[in-house]
Structures are given as C-alpha cells and as structure tokens.
Structure 1
Amino acid sequence: IDLSTLEPTVAYPHLPENTHLAKEGKDIRIDQVVIGSCTNGRLEDMEAAYKILKGKQIKEGVRAIIIPATMEIYKECIKRGYTEAFIDAGCVVSTPTCGPCLGGYMGILAEKERCISTTNRNFVGRMGHTSSEVYLASPYTAAASALTGYICDPREVY
C-alpha cells in the first residue's frame, strides 16, 4: 500500500466502519469537536491538533473539547505550549478523564447535534441524545473541522 495515496477518512454514524472521505463532509455542519480521551489523547495526537489550531480560532458556535489521555501527557502539553494554543483558539482543555465519549458528562450532545470526535465509538446515543450524530476522525481532521464548522479535509486549513 502506498501510504502517500491515502486520503483522510471519517466514520459516519452509527458504525465505525461506515467510512467516507473527509473532503465529502462539507455539507455536514458540526456543533462540537472532541479531541482526546483515552483514545487519540496521546502526545502525538495533541501535537497534531496543535499544528492545526496554533494561531487560529475555532468557528463561532462550535464547542471544542481537548482531553489528554494521561496526567503525564497533560503536563507535557502545558510544557510544550499546546494547552495555551488550544485555549487561545477557543477550546476547553480538560484534565484526563472519561466524559463525553461514553455519554457521562462534559460535552453531552443534545437532540440533533453533531460532533466530530477522535474517540472510538459512534453508536446511537453514545454521546448523548439518540438523535445526535457522532463522526469519528483523526485529530488532524477533527481540529480542522473545528476551524471550519463542518467536516473537512485537514489539508484545507493546514
């Protein structure tokens, strides 16, 4: 497989295997972005989001939540300036925790809201109301979508 030919993909609701090219999502407006948690909250994931968000502002009306996977990663994000860049871009940065991914708290989706997330599941009702939609993506694609307000290929903004 020639990896240079692969394009960013997104898993549409309500199954992780329901994949489409990210560039096909321009008509899908989003209300929320979740980057991190125990899945895709590694330091390299935080760095990917940082590269997209540094010096930019998330789209007005979009909520963006950043959740480093561990306290060590959280502290390293602070040391490297990622946390400050996330906050300056308009994101909320949480301490490591479970939360929106499992529909527990912080970032729970309301009726008909849409979220692009780097978490690992997008089943019906996973992050809140049963009519909400969760789209799964890489940290690059999720961060880029926070800037545009719709699902996009990160190469549009990077």
Structure 2
Amino acid sequence: HTIGDIGVDGALYSVMEFTGEAMHELDMDGRFTMANMAIEAGAKTGLFHVDEKTRRYVAEHANKSFTAYEADPDAAYARVIQYDVGKIEPQVAFPNIPSNVRPVSQAGEVKLDQVMIGGCTNGRLGDLRTAARILEGRQVYPDVRCVIIPGSQRVYLEALKEKLLETFVKAGAAVSTPTCGPCAGQHMGVLASGERGLATTNRNFVGRMGSPEAEVYLASPAVAAASAVLGKIASPEEVMS
C-alpha cells in the first residue's frame, strides 16, 4: 500500500521509519517484511522502534550484545505520512512494478498459472502458518502450480515440526528447500511465456521470474494461498467464508 502511494522512488536515498499503534501490534515477521520492502521504495533501509518484542526476538536468536538506537525526541523528518490501516484491505501489485498496486477487491478476474509462497520477503514461520490455515482441508486449483519455499533451513525445520509442510503437500503444493529459486528466475517455478504468476516476493519486473512475456503479481501469503485455491487472484475471505 505504501509503495503504491509514494512510488518506487518515494523514499530514494532515505531511511523509512515505521511507527504507530499498528506497528506496535505487528509481530516480528510482519516487521521484517515491511523493512525488506522499504528497499522497493528506494530507501536505504526500514526501521522499527525497539520494543519488548524486538528485545525478546534478539535474545532468542542472537548470542551477542546489541545497542538500541532511537530517534531523537525532536527529530525532524523529511516527510511524515499517516495511514488508517483499519481502512486498508489486502493489496496486490500488478505487473511490472511494485508500485502498480490496487486493492484485491479491484483485481478483477486474473487467472493464474502459478502461486509462489515464501522467499526472503514472506517465508518466515508466521507466513507459512497463515498460508497453511487457508490451505488446510482444501486443494490447490487443478490448473495452478503452488510452490512453497521456506525462508531458511530453520524455518523449514520448524514448519516440519508443526506439520505445516504436510498441510501443503496434502493440498497439492510442492515444497522446496529454501532458495531464491523462482523469485530470481532461476529454478523451481520459472514462468513460461504467457504465464501468470502470483508471488509473495518483493519484485515483479519484466522477466524477473522467467520469460519476459510472463506476468508477475505480488501479494501477501494470505492472498496467495486463497488465490492458489481459487485459481485466480482472490481475497482470503472468498475462501474462508
């Protein structure tokens, strides 16, 4: 949504700082996704306030001490943008740039050949849990390839222990070892000419996931999982209701 608002150069050579009530409630997986996508707005990095969630995460995952930096109380910002997230529905980035965004309710009838869930942007355990909740007890649409790529070996093992991978396989998805794979147009889901793919990755440039004649759409794990079930771009509500 933000990139659709400010554009892929809206934060050029800047640092994006995400604050507010919604950001405080956001879990670490969601924060990592937003920080990752800050680069797609042209920013150098994306930052969040260091709160108790952050400190717990670092304590669980790091064995070194760290220093927390905060913005000065009187810090001057180049630009401040406020959003009421309660009024924002799931978004989809259409080809061929991450800023070509529209609400999923305005996507229309976009039939898909492939759905990729995972990668560095949305391949953490929370993302896979979200996708599994939607795919559990359901089947991937017959004409769609659904590829699941955990973001790391650690996530892969945790998803295995929670039987999330079993849910994906039973739904008809293919589970890959952690890899950049189709996101970089290398393997495990490269799009052919004329195909349409929806991915939870960060970029949808021409030729990014394979053929220059393919179309790449970007969305969240929830939208991606729902779309895999219905064979077209769809909201989670269409599947879960």
TM-score in terms of structure 1 length = 0.97
Counterpart check, 1:155 vs 2:237: yes
- Give the number of aligned pairs: 158
Which of residues 87, 90, 100 is equivalent to 1:18? 100
Asked whether the equivalents of residues 36 and 46 of structure 1 are also in contact (C-alpha less than 8 Å), the reply is yes
Alignment of structure 1 residues 66-81 onto 2, 5 Å: 66-81=148-163
Asked whether the equivalents of residues 24 and 152 of structure 1 are also in contact (C-alpha less than 8 Å), the reply is no
Per-residue deviation, residues 38-80 of structure 1 (Å, max 9, x unmatched): 2200111101101110111010010000000011100110111
What corresponds to 2:186 in structure 1? 104
Greater shift, 103-112 or 1-10, is seen at 1-10
RMSD: 0.9
Q: Give the CA deviation at 1:30.
A: 0.3
- Identical aligned pairs, as a percentage? 51
Q: Give the CA deviation at 1:19.
A: 0.2
Give the counterpart letter for 1:41 in structure 2: G
Quick one: distance in 2 between partners of 1:153 and 1:65?
19
What corresponds to 2:169 in structure 1? 87
Asked whether the equivalents of residues 23 and 151 of structure 1 are also in contact (C-alpha less than 8 Å), the reply is no
| Bigger helix share | 2
What corresponds to 1:49 in structure 2? 131
Which of residues 209, 217, 232 is equivalent to 1:127? 209
Larger Rg: 2
Q: Give the CA deviation at 1:154.
A: 1.4
Moved over 6 A (4+): none
Quick one: distance in 2 between partners of 1:151 and 1:44?
21
Quick one: distance in 2 between partners of 1:9 and 1:154?
12
For structure 2, list consecutive stretches of 5 or more residues without a partner in the other structure. 1-82
For structure 1, list consecutive stretches of 5 or more residues without a partner in the other structure. none
Q: Give the CA deviation at 1:4.
A: 2.3
Asked whether the equivalents of residues 176 and 188 of structure 2 are also in contact (C-alpha less than 8 Å), the reply is no
Q: Give the CA deviation at 1:6.
A: 1.2
Quick one: distance in 2 between partners of 1:113 and 1:139?
20
